[in-house]
Amino acid sequence: MERHFDDSLQALKHQLIKMSAMSEVMIADAVKAVVERNPALMAPVWQREEQVNHLQIEIDETCLTLIALHQPAAGDLRFIMGAAKANAELERLADEAINIVQKVEHLLKEPPLKPFKIIPEMAVIAQGMVRDSLHAFVNRNVDLAREVLLRDDRVDDLKDAISLELTEFMSKDSASVARALDLLLISRYLERIGDHATNIAEITIFVVEGRDVRHHADSKSRRI
């Protein structure tokens, strides 16, 4: 019975890693569609979203089965409950990639507003946060989780920077307002992706240390 539990727990980790990888690709393709103005990249994002939704259901079922059949001890129970929460965060951040694609549909109807610098940088950081937060979770690596928390500040700073830049565009040229608002929303979606990754990192800290650091960054969480 114990061997079966360990195998099932390992399978759960693989499911989460697969879901995280899909989400990363969705983010990359969505932002690439914006930057390269490439509509061909939009359809794969929608297709992967269906796969992510299907995986979310599978992972929730796995978590419920592990709890019901094995009645895990405290540490493993925290991990399984954390997995269910991380699963929800992954599904939500994948939805943000869909939100980006929907804005691409608008942007491709108009000429480009400006060269892209900040949005691609935000995307790279957000993707790395998703990947590392999930790896921190499945490996119970608190140090990596805390690094993810620190990176969220950089995403927030970039969001503020592009907000100022786009506000200036809109104040000088009324014709740019619609495009600037779409780009502003895309930056907000990327910020939210970073927030979801941060939530997974916080879940990791709870699973490993039993401390809830949501809503308040304790000094230890913000220092390496």
pLDDT digits (tens, 9 = 90+) for 67-99: 998 888 888 999 999 999 999 999 999 999 999
**Positive or negative, the Cα torsion across 60, 66, 69, 72?**
negative
Class level of CATH domain 2-209:
mainly alpha
Record the pTM. Answer: 0.90
Q: Is 103 exposed, middle or buried (0-12, 13-18, 19+ CB in 10 A)?
A: buried
Give the up-direction half-sphere exposure of residue 220: CA atoms within 13 A in the CB hemisphere: 8
- Give the chain's mean pLDDT: 91
Paired tokens of 55? 């995986």
Residue 215: per-residue pLDDT:
60
What is the domain partition of the chain in residue ranges? 2-209
Q: Round to whole Å and give the CA distance between 160 and 176.
A: 19
Residue 114: per-residue pLDDT:
80
Low-confidence ranges of the chain (pLDDT < 70): 1, 214-224
At 80, is the secondary structure helix, strand, or coil?
Answer: helix
Q: Round to whole Å and give the CA distance between 66 and 9.
A: 8
